[in-house]
């Protein structure tokens, strides 16, 4: 939605052209269409609830314990009310989702009928029941108050025509004897008409906000927990597979390739340079050496050897020494970190320093590694020109994905003109 067409009533109320737009009429249509629904719900609640309240009040006024028959009546009425509410709330909620489009263009997915037993078990059902009671209990009170204000304003506007010799209308708290006395009230009433329009819009916006909040499908917490557990299992499986590949490459393929390169080098020394086999052997030797370099890079990409040999602090200092921009490293790490957290932190620093070198045009950068509670906090800052944007392909999206896989979070501050700060928080659960 563009600013020319506000997507919902609450946003439209903040616009200067509210009174001359179609939104007041849409709000009025929403309020008027609420009246029959809220009226039927109120009558239904009174039919069941009024006898219960009257019996309870009578028992309380006589200062004696309620009789067994009264308690049975109250219990039966409550059970009937609770039994019917989930069924009655379904069509009401469907109508309310449809009516909401009068004042809110944002889609609100419909909730299909899940079956009678599932209807009573679903959390969304009882949210709809709560809305049913709110619509039948609170909404009529608010509507009556608003109607009284409208009637009062209407009486003020029409008071000059009602005042006369035979009529002495009461405006607010004062009796008006002549049309001249009523003119000031009429002027005030006319000035209050825009206020009432805004009040109608505000009432409709509040009702729509409650409807959207209650009738929107709630987040399935159990499903979210299962997704988190599934992601943890996938991360664990990925780590196990990564270690296996690293071990196979380091202990299996790499020694064999090294042996092959040595054998080719020895054979190359034994073959005369003018032999027909000399050139193919030299090419094979060079390719084997290049393949060995590539294999070392692959193993380094899976888990950098410096991380294994030096730990996270030493590996980060090595990255800082190799950076083209002067980098200062501050660390305050004590104790061991989970292997996956160390690997993620290393690549976070590597990617962040790479972005500094490629895009920031900075003169210096800083890396901080600290422990905050149960989290490892990595901060990489620079004094460059700022304006880092993930949409421009600066590697931040991939960095965020890597951090999310470790159940961490990435925070970026990079205003135009700089400085830039990348903060990553990684939980250190073992």
Q: What is the per-residue pLDDT across 349-377, written as a single tens digit (0 to 9) for each?
A: 888 888 888 877 888 899 999 888 778 89
Residue finishing a domain among 185, 215, 245: 215
- Within a domain: residue 407? yes
Give me the mean pLDDT over the 20-47 stretch.
86
Same domain, 79 and 51: yes
The predicted pLDDT at position 4 comes to 46
The predicted pLDDT at position 21 comes to 87
Scan for tokens 């969304």, then name that residue.
124
Same domain, 42 and 90: yes
pTM: 0.51
Other Cβ atoms within 10 Å of 154 Cβ, number: 13
Tokens, residue 93: 């909620």
The predicted pLDDT at position 2 comes to 39
Confidence of residue 29 (pLDDT cuts 50, 70, 90): very high
Same domain, 89 and 227: no
Taking alpha carbons only, the member of 282, 276, 284, 335 closest to residue 311 is 335
Give me the mean pLDDT over the 1-24 stretch.
75
The predicted pLDDT at position 32 comes to 92
Same domain, 205 and 352: no
Confidence of residue 64 (pLDDT cuts 50, 70, 90): low
- Within a domain: residue 17? yes
What percent of the chain is predicted at pLDDT more than 70? 76
Are the C-beta atoms of 160 and 183 separated by less than 8 Å?
yes
- pLDDT, greater one: 296 or 378: 378
User: Which of 167-181, 256-270, 333-347 has the highest average model confidence (pLDDT)?
Assistant: 333-347
* 5 pLDDT higher than 60: no
* 385 pLDDT higher than 80: yes
Residue finishing a domain among 276, 302, 328: 302
Lowest mean pLDDT among 89-93, 165-169, 255-259: 165-169
Q: Which domain holds residue 356?
A: 310-427
The predicted pLDDT at position 3 comes to 41
Scan for tokens 């920031």, then name that residue.
360
- pLDDT, greater one: 385 or 77: 385
Segment 125-176, tens digit of pLDDT: 888 888 888 888 888 888 999 998 898 888 888 877 777 656 666 666 667 6
- Within a domain: residue 288? yes
Average pLDDT value over all residues in the chain? 78
Same domain, 22 and 129: yes
Same domain, 410 and 336: yes
* 286 pLDDT higher than 50: yes
Same domain, 285 and 207: no
Residue finishing a domain among 196, 215, 234: 215
- Within a domain: residue 2? no
CA 132/CA 126 separation, integer angstroms: 9
**Which helix (H) or strand (E) is 54 found in, with range?**
helix 23-61
* 247 pLDDT higher than 70: no
* 413 pLDDT higher than 80: yes
- Within a domain: residue 335? yes
Scan for tokens 């003119």, then name that residue.
183
Sign of CA dihedral 360, 361, 362, 367: positive
Torsional class of 204: left (φ above 0), alpha (ψ -120 to 50), beta (otherwise) = alpha
Segment 46-62, tens digit of pLDDT: 776 666 676 667 667 76
Confidence of residue 214 (pLDDT cuts 50, 70, 90): confident
Taking alpha carbons only, the member of 298, 341, 333 closest to residue 314 is 333
Same domain, 79 and 191: yes
- Within a domain: residue 3? no
CA 408/CA 134 separation, integer angstroms: 40
Same domain, 19 and 154: yes
CATH number at residue 328: 3.30.565.10
Confidence of residue 217 (pLDDT cuts 50, 70, 90): low
The count of structural domains within the chain is 3
CA 312/CA 348 separation, integer angstroms: 12
- Within a domain: residue 1? no
DSSP string covering 122-155, please?
-HHHHHHHHHHHHHHHHHHHHHHHHHHHHHHHHH
* 199 pLDDT higher than 60: yes
Same domain, 319 and 252: no
Give me the mean pLDDT over the 24-28 stretch.
91
Same domain, 290 and 322: no
Scan for tokens 């010799």, then name that residue.
165
- Within a domain: residue 31? yes
* 300 pLDDT higher than 60: no
Same domain, 295 and 365: no
> What does each C-alpha distance from 28 to 9, 53, 107 come to in angstroms?
11, 34, 21
Torsion of CA 71, 75, 80, 83, to 10 degrees: 180
CA 304/CA 348 separation, integer angstroms: 13
The predicted pLDDT at position 58 comes to 66
């Amino acid at each position: 939605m563009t600013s020319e067409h506000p997507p919902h009533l609450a946003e439209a109320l903040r616009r200067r052209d509210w009174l001359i737009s179609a939104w007041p009429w849409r709000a009025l249509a929403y309020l008027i269409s609420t009246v029959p629904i809220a009226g039927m719900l109120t009558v239904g609640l009174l039919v069941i609830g009024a006898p219960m309240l009257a019996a309870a009040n009578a028992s309380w006024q006589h200062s004696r314990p309620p009789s067994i028959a009264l308690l049975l009546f109250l219990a039966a009425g409550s059970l009937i009310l609770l039994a019917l509410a989930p069924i009655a709330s379904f069509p009401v909620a469907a109508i309310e989702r449809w009516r909401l489009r009068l004042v809110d263009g944002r889609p609100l997915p419909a909730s299909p009928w899940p079956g009678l037993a599932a209807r009573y078990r679903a959390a969304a059902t009882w949210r709809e029941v709560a809305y049913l009671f709110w619509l039948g209990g609170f909404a009529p009170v608010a509507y009556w108050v608003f109607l009284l204000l409208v009637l009062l304003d209407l009486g003020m506007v029409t008071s000059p025509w009602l005042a006369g010799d035979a009529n002495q209308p009461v405006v607010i708290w004062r009796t008006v004897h002549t049309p001249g006395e009523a003119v000031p009230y009429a002027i005030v009433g006319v000035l209050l008409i825009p206020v009432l329009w805004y009040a109608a819009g505000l009432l409709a916006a509040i009702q729509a906000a409650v409807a959207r909040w209650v009738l929107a499908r709630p987040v399935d917490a159990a499903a979210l927990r299962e997704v988190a557990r599934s992601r943890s299992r996938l991360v664990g499986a990925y780590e196990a597979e990564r270690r296996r590949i690293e071990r196979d490459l380091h202990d299996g393929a790499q020694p064999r390739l090294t042996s092959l390169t040595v054998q080719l080098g020895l054979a190359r020394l034994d073959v005369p340079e003018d032999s027909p086999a000399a050139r193919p052997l030299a090419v094979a030797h060079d390719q084997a050496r290049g393949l060995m370099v590539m294999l070392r890079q692959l193993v380094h990409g899976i888990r950098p050897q410096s991380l294994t040999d030096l730990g996270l602090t030493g590996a980060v200092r090595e990255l800082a020494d190799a950076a083209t921009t002067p980098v200062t490293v501050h660390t305050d790490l004590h104790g061991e970190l989970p292997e996956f957290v160390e690997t993620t932190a290393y690549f976070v620093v590597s990617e962040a320093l790479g972005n500094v070198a490629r895009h920031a045009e900075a003169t210096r950068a800083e890396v901080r590694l600290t422990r905050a509670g149960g989290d490892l906090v990595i901060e990489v800052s620079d004094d460059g020109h700022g304006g880092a944007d993930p949409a421009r392909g600066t590697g931040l999206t991939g960095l965020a994905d890597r951090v999310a896989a470790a159940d961490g979070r990435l925070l970026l501050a990079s205003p135009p003109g700089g400085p830039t700060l990348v903060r990553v928080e990684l939980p250190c659960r073992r």
